[in-house]
Amino acid sequence: RMRHSATRALLERDDVIIVASVSCIYGIGSVETYGAMTQDLKVGQSYDQRAVMADLVAQAYRRNDAAFQRGSFRVRGDSLEIFPAHLEDRAWRLSFFGEELESITEFDPLTGEKTDSFDQIRVYANSHYVTPKPTMQQAILGIKKELRHRLDQLVAEGKLLEAQRLEQRTSFDLEMLEATGVCNGIENYSRYLTGRAPGEPPPTLFEFIPDHAIVFADESHVSVPQIGAMYKGDYRRKFTLAEHGFRLPSCMDNRPLKFEEWDAMRPQSVFVSATPAKWEIDQTGGVFTEQVIRPTGLIDPQVEIRPVEMQVDDLLDEVRKVAADGFRTLVTTLTKR
């Protein structure tokens, strides 16, 4: 949900702050396709309700009249209710009079209470990997071609069990893609769905971010090395899956960015660290900004050195003073042996 909310905000607004982990360098689907697979609905316009529902299905929404949940829609008389992918506790109700869209209201799916109303809305896809039909048909042809080639390889190597496993799993995925446009683990076919060449960087959240954005890398002495390590760990895991027939080798293109790719793609960046590593120092040319004041605005407490004699009584006296003001005291000690 938060991923949908973040990408939607990046496409529609210019005052966006996104707090992300290092996982933001993983593939997320093409920004061009995701931005194009939208549906605009405006009060007062005429729509064929069946056509609207067909478009929702093409956007990977599921019709569920019983269990209304995120990423689904249902029909209630002349009303069509949509639970958008980017919302957690709100849904939209489209009220029709014939073919005219009379009103668009936002409501709580649990209580049914109205919370807002809109003149128009834009519905984004329920999956970042949703794909137009012509592109999907082309992708299916590419997957089938790779499957035949890989099966021939496995049979030639005497890996009959792996070949059978791969054929069953991939054939089922292809049937789901042809019938519904989605399947479990659809991201493993992202190379074909996004039209990328083998080895080309996958589309990530960084492709949604505008060129004039600023990236803050907190604790950069830890987070920056993680970027390079994530690709290597992911490659090893995907290589094992492909080797034993659980996935096609193209699944290895559903990966995090390599460090060099991320470094070339990132906009202007600020690296924040109390102990910066050599890479960060090299990036600044040795010129960096030292933050003397804490972000909270609080200063370090004054340090007092007192005599050892009567130290316990002195401590208890200070604790009583603090307690009298309604506060608490934390005492940390070092035991000398």
- What is the pLDDT, as a whole number, of residue 300? 73
Q: Count of residues for the chain?
A: 337
Q: What is the three-state SS of 193-254?
A: HHCCCCCCCCCCHHHCCCCCCEEEEECHHHHHHHHHHHHHHHHHHHHHHHHCCCCCHHHHHC
Strand duo 62-63 + 72-76: pairing: parallel
**Dist. CA 204–CA 116, nearest whole Å:** 33
- What is the pLDDT, as a whole number, of residue 8? 85
**Dist. CA 9–CA 205, nearest whole Å:** 12
With 0-12 / 13-18 / 19 or more C-beta atoms within 10 angstroms meaning exposed / middle / buried, residue 167 is middle
pLDDT per position as a tens digit, 61-75: 888 888 888 889 999
pLDDT per position as a tens digit, 122-160: 998 888 888 888 888 999 999 999 999 999 999 999 999
- What is the pLDDT, as a whole number, of residue 293? 67
Which two structure tokens, joined as six digits, stand for 96? 């029709």
- What is the pLDDT, as a whole number, of residue 65? 84
Mean pLDDT of 77-102: 89
**Dist. CA 29–CA 187, nearest whole Å:** 8
The answer to whether the CB of 193 falls within 8 A of the CB of 129 is: yes
Domains, the chain, ranges and CATH? 38-124 (3.30.2060.10), 133-269 (no CATH)
- What is the pLDDT, as a whole number, of residue 174? 94
Q: At what angle do helices 133-156 and 160-180 cross, to 10 degrees?
A: 170
**Half-sphere exposure of 313 toward its Cβ, with a 13 Å CA cutoff?**
4
Mean pLDDT of 248-260: 90
pLDDT per position as a tens digit, 258-299: 999 998 888 898 888 888 888 888 888 878 888 776 667 777
- What is the pLDDT, as a whole number, of residue 250? 92
Mean pLDDT of 312-318: 92
**Dist. CA 22–CA 156, nearest whole Å:** 40
pLDDT per position as a tens digit, 213-241: 999 988 888 889 888 888 888 899 999 99
